[in-house]
Amino acid sequence: MAIPVIDFSKLNGKDRVEALAQIADACENWGFFQLVNHGIPIELLERVKKVCSQCYKLEREEGFKNSMPVKLLNDLLERNYINGTDEKLEDLDWEDVFILQDDNKWPCQPLEFKETMSEYRRELRNLAAKVMEVMDENLGLPKGYIKNALNGGEGIEDAFFGTKVSHYPPCPHPELLTGLRAHTDAGGVILLFQDDKVGGLQILKDGEWIDVQPLENSIVINTGDQIEVLSNGRYKSVWHHVLASRDGNRRSIASFYNPSLNATIAPAPQLIESVTKVANDQHAYPEFVFGDYMSVYVKQKFLPKEPRFQAVRAIKK
């Protein structure tokens, strides 16, 4: 079983209806899909691979050897040896990570890192807008509805757009921990440029963990919790994790188009007529301010998502 692969260029030709249907099915039944022919220059993607790998080697690799994950794993191995136990690290990610935003400090090496990643982020932000417009069309919403909701209103440009650059170095004992613990993403639309050689990303589909297959120069799209709310449950956020591995150094570059902290999120009015109501006759998804949701999410990221919606419903009251 493999997640859907969709030719995004078909939206501009005679196969548009087919492409729209494929994306609708992927959003409704998978929550993850891969885009090919997405319009981002291959030459740029090759530069992104190069500068991110070089950045890890020049600025990050030595530090990871002395990081908390390495220390905790070594302590665990010693403790298991002394006690004859088989304990695992349940609350730890085997990951090196930093975040790129427009206004934070970026790595200095290699010299072309900032120029390349700035260009890449502009391309990804534009692609996110196109993906959201397709979701609008498939859901029967006005063009720009989802983007406006995430920005906090029409004509406002206040959404958070961050890029998480991760590496998952070789792990000597991958059976004792995960690369990244299972979770759903809190925000809106996530665009992932994953390693095309080293796998490890999996999603939970029908109770089974399946691989998000490496595919050269594709962009993986997944929907976050806020898209689930805006679509009134038509599009579900999906559990995913990353497996640690003895081999390779998996590179992962995930860009997040997330709501402004001040944005009010609620099911689109056009989609609530046939909503399934809970016992107290309230809509299944509440209206809430995204900043309130994040205050809950940071404490419950690795727990079931449904109680998060209940918690923000209580805050709203």
What mean pLDDT is predicted for residues 7-29?
97
Asked if 174 contacts 212 with a C-beta cutoff of 8 angstroms, the reply is no
pLDDT at 111 over 80: yes
199: Cβ contacts below 8 Å, ≥ 6 apart: 211, 212, 213, 214, 250
How distant, in Å, are the alpha carbons of 185, 207, 265, 299, 309 from that of 304? 12, 14, 20, 11, 10
Q: CA 252 to CA 190: how far, in whole Å? A: 12
Averaged over 246-273, what is the pLDDT?
A: 95
Which contiguous run of DSSP H or E holds residue 146?
A: helix 145-151
Task: For residues 298-313, give the mean pLDDT.
Answer: 93
For residues 280-303, give the mean pLDDT: 87
Which amino acid makes up residue 80?
A: N
> Rounded to 5 degrees, what angle do the CA atoms 43, 47, 53 make?
150
What percentage of the chain exceeds 90 in pLDDT? Answer: 90
pLDDT over 60 (residue 278)? no
pTM greater than the 0.75 cutoff: yes
The mean of the pLDDT values for the chain is 94
E strands, the chain, are 5-7, 32-36, 96-100, 160-168, 180-183, 189-194, 201-205, 208-211, 219-223, 240-242, 250-258, 264-265, 288-289
